[in-house]
Structure 1
Amino acid sequence: MIQLYSIGKRIWAGKGEDQELAKKELIVFFRNMEGELGDKLYFGGESFGFVDVALVPFTAWFYTYETRGNFSIEAECPKLIAWAKRCMEKESISKTLPHPHKIYDYAMELKKKLGIE
């Protein structure tokens, strides 16, 4: 998860060549996740499990990654997005995760506080 966080930060906080490199790294990371997911509904198989619980909070950041990085995760990793949508059908997830636009606003405010412009 630390790798995902650091790559994601380079996308929302970065620019130029490093941001482009981070975007490519993120796509590789997500494609590897898709490989692990395979054709299963969830990472553990038919039922929502520990790995899903650990990964699903990052889906709230997808909008920020896409907006700042100017790309589509769904176009690159459709199985991952289908998994995220299945997870969001669970009330315990949909009512708990912050709205992706709030995450984006938070990230932009954090950039200002950190002096990253």
Structure 2
Amino acid sequence: MAELQLFGTWGSPFSKRVEMGLKLKGLEYEFIEEDIKNKSPLLQKYNPVHQKVPVLLHKGKPIAESLVILEYIDDTWDVGSPILPKSPYDRAMARFWAKFIDEKCIPTLRKACWSVGSEQEKAKEEAAILLKLLDSQVEGKKFFGGDTFGLVDIAASFIAYWFGILAECGEVQILNKDKFPNLCEWIDVFTNNSFVKEILPPKDILTEKFKALFQAAKQARTA
């Protein structure tokens, strides 16, 4: 058995976070594809609390939750590129914004795509406020950490890639260069980075998947 095993799914933004962290460190690992609709006994064993991906298995010991895994990787292997900054203050700020993205941004952006009517309009307004905060954080920078790719960029990968596809499939207009110039510039840099492009799932396959989900949701509402 490999020293490092990653339980994930091909299209999960959270699995891809861990892949980015492992690649930054130059670490070899075995990827184990999970079927979320038919969870394996191993996934249920190694993540009995949430029973979801990703789970990193290191020498038989499981670590769950993508942001927790990224910090574990950074703390355990002093090789390759760092995931978090060296300064305690900068590390605290990186943790803060990564948590902000997970707890505030992603749920609101998803709601803006999947809800309808007045609920959707409210979610879109809330999403714009949150994105404006992120826009100000990356102003004048290449990455959220300055010139260095790190934790917040990895955490925001959902916004850079998955959300754009979701919004397009759901015909939702929120993120544009007029309102969020700094964030959109960061997205261009992020998605065109050769390191990132090797890890991101194919856009055409994600688009096909999301379109099918939107169609199924529409049919369910009209049934």
For residues 33-68 of structure 1, the C-alpha deviation after alignment (integer angstroms, 9 at most, x for no partner) is 011112111111111111111112332222322552
Alignment of 1:90-105 (within 5 A): 90-105=193-208
Structure 1 gaps of 5+ residues are: none
Is 1:71 equivalent to 2:173 in the alignment?
yes
The alpha-carbon deviation at position 78 of structure 1 amounts to 1.6
Q: Is the 8 A contact 1:63 1:101 kept in 2?
A: no
Picking from 73, 76, 89, the partner of 2:192 is 89
Higher share in helix: 1
For residue 65 of structure 1, give the secondary structure of its aligned residue in structure 2.
helix
The 1-side partners of 2:174 and 2:202 are apart by 18
Match of 2:106 in 1: 5
Report the TM-score when normalising by structure 2: 0.46
* 45-54 vs 91-100, greater mean Cα deviation: 91-100
For residues 81-109 of structure 1, the C-alpha deviation after alignment (integer angstroms, 9 at most, x for no partner) is 11011112221211221344543433343
CA RMSD in angstroms, aligned pairs only = 2.4
Report the TM-score when normalising by structure 1: 0.80
The 2-side partners of 1:102 and 1:23 are apart by 26
Picking from 128, 134, 144, the partner of 1:33 is 134
Write the letter of the residue equivalent to 1:65.
Answer: A
The alpha-carbon deviation at position 29 of structure 1 amounts to 0.9
Picking from 164, 167, 176, the partner of 1:62 is 164
Indicate the structure whose relative CO is greater, using CA pairs within 8 Å and at least 6 residues apart. 1
Number of aligned residue pairs: give it: 117
Q: 1:48 to 1:56 in 2, by over 3 A?
A: same
For residue 76 of structure 1, give the secondary structure of its aligned residue in structure 2.
coil
Match of 2:123 in 1: 22
The alpha-carbon deviation at position 21 of structure 1 amounts to 1.0
Match of 2:10 in 1: none
The percentage of aligned residue pairs carrying the same residue is: 19
Match of 2:209 in 1: 106
Higher share in strand: 2
The 1-side partners of 2:122 and 2:171 are apart by 10
The alpha-carbon deviation at position 31 of structure 1 amounts to 0.5
Q: 1:84 to 1:66 in 2, by over 3 A?
A: same
Structure 2 gaps of 5+ residues are: 1-101
For residue 106 of structure 1, give the secondary structure of its aligned residue in structure 2.
helix
